[in-house]
Structure 1
């Protein structure tokens, strides 16, 4: 009964004209940036962080959340119609979705993606509502040592789940940790790694770094690939899958929802890993695996359900523990911090309207998406004909205006440009920037919890081993490290992600 009361509180928060409007804006923006190749939820949320200054905290989180899961819907449109995923998690959808489009079944593929996404989003949001309160209750028992161990586990898990070389992923985490130490030490008041530059006294601007790494770098990367865009499939066909196709997609949607919900909670996982795992599972258990890659509808249903479920459940560690499980959740933590809210289990007790309002908005947002997306397919098709060379100047201007509006410091624009170039170079070197952002967010928090734990223990390092929860988390971290060092596991992991785009 208490849970029903909490959900009722959330619905009362979101079912107001203001919050309904921001939810609608969020899912529409999410769909739009998912449709347009060259953007993405991380870049868009980074660009919109300055906008959240003037909004109530719950309205800003509702809008940003809608952008994230809305992008999972929109990304499938370009994957199916032009074989170019608008969002990374839609890479797998392109394998069979585009082949269905070439056979005149684009409408059925788009409808399957929408149905799978809606069902998975609805179920995953229910899981968030059921699992978040007990996890938050457990987290309230965490002390400084437990939080430090949890953050170490999160960073190691992000390395394990990042694509490509383990060594490069570790290097990105370390670089993020180092960047997070720039600024004034809160304990001693000494400036660290500022090199005498006054603008760095308060640290590197998080929004400028995020816009550069995920906005400017994305623009530069997509300009490299503009000439290779696949011609648009203009024949959509019927939007209703046949009865036989409906029977074929029920199992994949259910399995994709379950698998995506589980993997979305893991640090570094989220929608991308869920989509790949769901596709691999369906191909493995299929009686006709040879059809995959040639237009199997199961290859559209499973990953689309999984990526949306993973997107929704990735809110669980962010809302309950204050630990971001992927770059978008790291940006959400930044949005909360901008509003003066410390992410963590206390949000549920101190800001229940915010906590339950965001969860309830996911149900409303998924309903908006299923009602709006299929009728708007014609509009998305026309938008795909816009050359990217006409889009990126507007995006660049928006980035510069947004980062300048934060503190009115021109230096923030130069920081953004610098990290945009750094991000582009990292992408060309096959170094995923996501672990860097997680390291940048978690680094200062880890340092603070480490110091606090040692102060409470009077400098005794064994405090991390004598506390049961901390010890369990560190042992799990050690187990992941051992598994990563096994040659067979490392080779198989890198092979699984070798086709994932940077």
Structure 2
């Protein structure tokens, strides 16, 4: 316990520096903004702003990017409550009772309990991250190459199974991503692989370019197509702070949502989104009067909002301790760390303790900032929701192009972003989710490196490579999960991804 307090003291000394405070505030503001504006999302925003962080030191860049991620969870509830359109996928459930409260003249109370519940859950999530970091990193340090290979196979399996839509489509996208990770120079022999004679491919696919295209540009194209479906904004916000009765009704939901979100947020795939749905289902099941839900039950706002914010914090656990990103956003964060010379995983705590604990403590600081800045700025967010999207997207495209060009000073990079943007748009029209592709791209090279390293240590003997009990257990678990997911009774319950023109 004393060691944990020492680590937190180190983290706060880093995150409370003037520059990092400003970067944390900037990330929270940007995150809230893109959460409020429906359809952009943290993944696209991080992809867009990633090139702009190259001139910042690693800990400051990661603090800002992390602020964008969990700030979007806050902002998503604002659009869900006022406009009945979730700004973030994890805020979909909030629309059910949040917008009903808004139509009943209680929009302010819904916004207030969402912000307060998010802060409490976010604080709990940070404590979970801090408590689990040291023991999990110690366990991961004892892992062999075979263990890491099997662990990544399990992570990719869970990511596919928990993704929305068809299991076959998600698996195909994952395979495409892993294949893209193999393109370029062989890490051992420097021989070109799958380059088809193109010098551009010899340097491998740039994560920032792929992510910015698939999620940034593609999201802009989808939003332009959906603008005619934008609903009206609730004009009256009302009193922001909930009363004593509201707090009594919400307290249990916030506590249960915090615990549930903290657990499910660690899961690869859609753990954060899953937590908000699970919290809503739990609150409705244990409620004395379930008929209230969907008609303005404040627990239906407090529980899911607490769950998705706790999950947003604990999603960092597998990335920081084992180097295994749980979501596509975490995969992009892993890419950002690598670009800044910080390798996520069990050695990060020893090699970059200032970065590790600075990012962890900045999460609590960011949650506090979000409560302080969100409630007073509700009026501004309402005005922003009225800005036509046709006036916003040119500025977003401009930032994309300038950001990616400023890194390599190559016009070809801008063209590649456009190509991947069109590809991402077509994937959405075909109901293909791009998130497994990004996870495959990030983890593909790590998967290959651990496989080759393990086989070298086993002198090419596959049986010896797989003979370790932990390796066998992780691989067997992956097979069981896949077999279970393809059973007809389970497959029919999978959530289909809506088409762009639905």
Sort the Cα spacing of 1:484 and 1:501 in 2 relative to 1 into closer, same or farther, 3 A. farther
1:142-153 matches, cutoff 5 A: 142-153=143-154
For 2:330 and 2:227, the matched residues in 1 are separated by 29
Secondary structure of 1:104's partner? coil
Report the CA distance between 1:194 and its aligned residue.
Answer: 1.4
8 Å contact kept, 1:42–1:328: yes
In the alignment, the residues of structure 1 paired with residue 470 and residue 407 of structure 2 have an alpha-carbon distance, to the nearest angstrom, of 39
> Structure 1 stretches of 5 or more lacking a match?
none
Secondary structure of the corresponding residue to residue 218 of structure 2? helix
| 8 Å contact from structure 1 (residues 120, 305) kept in 2 | yes
Where does 1:434-449 land on structure 2 (aligned, <5 Å)? Answer: 434-449=435-450
TM-score by length of 2: 0.97
Quote the Cα distance in structure 1 between the aligned partners of 2:75 and 2:386: 15
Which ranges of 4 or more aligned residues in structure 1 deviate by more than 6 Å?
A: 497-502
Give the corresponding residue for 1:214.
215
Looking at structure 2, the residues matched to 35 and 494 of structure 1 have their Cα atoms a distance apart, in angstroms, of: 24
What does residue 272 of structure 1 align with? 273
- 1:12 alignment counterpart: 13
- Deviation track 1:441-491 (CA, whole Å, cap 9, x = no partner) reads 001110111111001101111234321221221122122112112111111
Per-residue deviation, residues 308-340 of structure 1 (Å, max 9, x unmatched)? 011000000010011110011111111111111
Cα distance in structure 2, aligned partners of 1:481 and 1:241: 45
Structure 1 distance, partners of 2:231, 2:79, is 10
Structure 2 equivalent of residue 424 of structure 1: 425
Would the alpha carbon gap of residues 96 and 464 (structure 1) be closer, same or farther in structure 2, given more than 3 Å must change?
A: farther
Q: What CA deviation, in whole Å up to 9, does each residue of 1:385-416 have, x standing for no partner? A: 10001000110111111111121111111111
Report SS of the residue matched to 2:284.
helix
**Bigger Cα displacement from structure 2, 484-493 vs 281-290:** 281-290
Instruction: Quote the residue 1:385 is aligned against.
Output: 386
CA distance in 1, matches of 2:214, 2:14: 34
Q: Within 1, Cα distance between the matches of 2:463 and 2:356? A: 35
What TM-score, normalized to structure 1? 0.97
1:492 is paired with a residue of what secondary structure?
coil
1:442-461 correspondence runs (5 A): 442-461=443-462
Residues 91 and 500 of structure 1 are in contact (CA less than 8 Å); yes or no, is this contact kept in structure 2?
no
Alignment of 1:393-412 (within 5 A): 393-412=394-413
Counterpart position of 2:189? 188
Determine helix, strand or coil for the equivalent of 2:453: helix
CA distance, structure 2, for counterparts of residue 215 and residue 177 of structure 1: 21
Give the corresponding residue for 1:72.
73
- Residues of 2 paired with 1:465 and 1:455: CA distance? 13
- Write out per-residue CA displacement over residues 119-158 of structure 1, whole angstroms, 9 at most, x where no aligned residue: 0000010000000110000000011101110110011000
Q: Which moved more, 1:485-494 or 1:429-438?
A: 485-494
Aligned pairs for 1:66-465 within 5 A: 66-465=67-466
Contact 1:264/1:312 (CA < 8 Å) preserved in 2?
yes
CA 1:421 to 1:54, structure 2 compared with 1: closer, same or farther past 3 Å? Answer: same
Gaps of 5+ in 2: none
SS at match of 2:288: coil
How many Å separate the matches in 1 of 2:72 and 2:51?
20
**CA apart distance, 1:499:** 11
- RMSD, matched Cα: 1.5
Distance 1:501 1:492 in 2: 23
Once the two structures are overlaid, the 10-residue window that deviates more, 373-382 or 237-246, is 237-246
Counterpart CA distance in 1 for 2:107 and 2:85 is 14
Distance 1:133 1:501, change over 3 A: farther
Check conservation: 1:205, 1:412, Cα contact below 8 A.
Answer: no
Deviations 1:345-371 (A, max 9, x none): 100011111111111111111111111
Q: Residues of 2 paired with 1:59 and 1:341: CA distance?
A: 12
* Alpha-carbon distance, 1:424 to partner: 0.9
Give the distance between the partners of 1:189 and 1:63, measured in 2 at CA. 35
TM-fit CA distance, 1:498: 7.1
Distance 1:287 1:501, change over 3 A: farther
Q: Tell me the residue number matched to 1:26.
A: 27
Shift of 1:182: 1.2
Contact persistence 1:278–1:306 (CA under 8 A): yes
Number of the residue aligned with 1:470: 471
Displacement of 1:500 in angstroms is: 12
Distance 1:389 1:170, change over 3 A: same
Q: Distance in 1 between matches of 2:206 and 2:16?
A: 34
3-state SS in 2 of match to 1:462: helix
Question: For structure 1, which segment, 109-118 or 402-411, has the greater mean C-alpha deviation from structure 2 after superposition?
Answer: 402-411
Q: Which segment is superposed worse, 269-278 or 195-204?
A: 269-278
User: Shift of the alpha carbon at 1:281?
Assistant: 1.6
In structure 2, the residue corresponding to 1:265 is in which secondary structure? coil
Give the aligned partner of residue 488 of structure 1.
489
